[in-house]
Amino acid sequence: MMHLFDILNRTAPEPWSEAENLPWNEPAFSLRMLNEHLNQAHDAASRRLEIIDQHVQFIHSWVLNGVPSRILDMTCGPGLYLERLAQLNHVCYGIDYSPASINYARRQAERALLDITYSLSDVRVADFRSNWDLAMMIYGEFNTFRTADARRVLQKAYHAIRPGGRLLLEPSAFEQIRRTGQRPPSWTTYRSGLFSENPYLELSEAFWDDESCTATTRYFVVDLETSAVERYSSSYQAYTIAQYSDLLQSCGFTDLQYFVSLQPARLQEAVNIQVSTSVEQANLDTLDDFIVILANKW
Ligand SMILES: C[S@@+](CC[C@H](N)C(=O)[O-])C[C@H]1O[C@@H](n2cnc3c(N)ncnc32)[C@H](O)[C@@H]1O
């Protein structure tokens, strides 16, 4: 267990050395995280439903042309996308390693008699099954993987997609990760929250490593009754558009298209920004936001 004094001796972390990620897969943490996923006051873990409805419309009408399809969601969380896609007659398979999210997703699917299978597993090692028309990973989790793991996930997705099928990724633009790593330190108190049900003080700091282009965020969570301290860290790999393209092409994907959002209202803007010149690439790299990549397997 850490004590308050231990904070004094901290050093800048090596990316991923303190933790692989936030403990999404720990039962108690995952239950608290589920509240954040379902909270309609913010977009912290999943987007609010009114935004997800628009994304689902984009996926259904634009990516899948309204044709009933087989969809794999890698990191599906509580199934908010798959639930809606299954209602539009798609056959869905969701993988996530958060027990509370998968339990919630299964309950929702059973209640509504939807054709969705969920697997509680780690996408880095999970069996992706085969013959998917679409494999997707939505809302940034891609960047929390070390590059070797990200590549492994992409290779597995490539094999699991049928010839002619597609991949939909929503990772962070380069600048979004850099800004994350350059955020100033801050502190906040909570009566209860993501890190504990008990009152706590959250001290956060961030690091940007220019050489490896990684950001690491670190939280010290101080129990306000006992002063016990817990440390949480997560690291993020930044990629330029050129690097995303290289990575995806090296895994076999072709015909890459880049968009600025999954929202249909921004589709025209997105279509105009399909990356064909280095200026457009540079523009996307400087977005402090998520980007959307659509790729084909032929
Ligand atoms: C930001 S949330 C997004 C969830 C969902 N895509 C959405 O937009 O509602 C990231 C999700 O990735 C999951 N996750 C992170 N690392 C994972 C891993 N290695 N294997 C499986 N799931 C993982 C977390 O449990 C969490 O549900």
| Residue 167, domain member (yes or no) | yes
- Average confidence score pLDDT of the chain: 95
Q: Write the CB contacts of 52 (distance below 8 Å, at least 6 apart in sequence).
A: 46, 80, 81, 84
Measured by CA distance, the residue closest to atom 22 of ligand 1 is 96
For residue 237, give the nearest of 173, 144, 169, 152 by alpha carbon.
Answer: 144
Confidence of residue 85 (pLDDT cuts 50, 70, 90): very high
Within this chain, do residues 86 and 139 fall inside the same structural domain, yes or no? yes
Confirm whether 56 is domain-assigned.
yes
> Do 115 and 62 sit in the same domain of this protein?
yes
- Same domain? 83 vs 124: yes
What pLDDT, on the 0 to 100 scale, is given for residue 167?
A: 98
Query: Tens digits of per-residue pLDDT, 210-219?
Result: 999 999 999 9
- Cα of 5 to ligand 1 centre, how many Å? 33
Is the pLDDT at 178 greater than 60, yes or no? yes
Task: Quick: pLDDT tens for 7-30.
Answer: 999 999 999 999 999 999 999 999
Specify whether the CB–CB gap between 159 and 130 falls below 8 A.
yes
Confidence of residue 282 (pLDDT cuts 50, 70, 90): confident
Strand partners, 206: 217
Q: Is residue 166 a part of any domain in this protein?
A: yes
Is position 28 within any domain?
no
Task: Verify that 12 and 93 share a domain, yes or no.
Answer: no
Are 103 and 155 in the same domain?
yes
165 and 191 share one domain: no
260 C-alpha to center of ligand 1: Å?
A: 21
Residue 58: how many other CB atoms lie within 10 Å: 21
Are 138 and 69 found together in one domain?
yes
Q: Is the pLDDT of residue 268 over 70?
A: no
Give the amino acid at 144. T
203 with 256, same domain: the answer is no
Q: Whose CA is nearest to atom 2 of ligand 1?
A: 45
CA of 243 to the centre of ligand 1 (A): 23
Percent of the chain with pLDDT over 70: 96
Residue 186 sits in the same domain as residue 233: yes
Give 77 Cα–ligand 1 centroid separation in angstroms. 5
- Ligand 1 mean position to 24 CA, how many Å? 8
**Which of 220, 237, 254 is at the close of a domain?**
237
Domain boundary among 218, 237, 256: 237
Q: What is the pLDDT of residue 130?
A: 98
Measured between alpha carbons, how far is 33 from 36 in angstroms, rounded to an integer? 5
Task: Report residues whose beta carbon is within 6 angstroms of any ligand 1 atom.
Answer: 21, 24, 45-46, 75-77, 80, 96-98, 101, 122-124, 138-141
Domain boundary among 237, 258, 281: 237
What does DSSP assign to residue 22? S
Query: Looking at the structure, do residues 132 and 16 belong to the same domain, yes or no?
Result: no
Q: Looking at beta carbons, which pairs linking 266-274 to residues 24 or more positions away fall under 8 Å?
A: 267/58, 267/62
Instruction: Give the domain CATH number at 128.
Output: 3.40.50.150
Contact 168, 157 (CB under 8 A): no
Same domain flag for 164 and 267: yes
Q: How far is the CA of 78 from the centre of ligand 1 (A)?
A: 9
Q: What is the count of structural domains for the chain?
A: 2
Domain membership of residue 165 (yes or no) is yes
Verify that 153 and 117 share a domain, yes or no.
Answer: yes
The residue nearest atom 26 of ligand 1, judged by CA position, is 77
Range of the domain at 72: 33-173+239-296
Q: Which atom of ligand 1 is nearest to the CA of 45?
A: 1
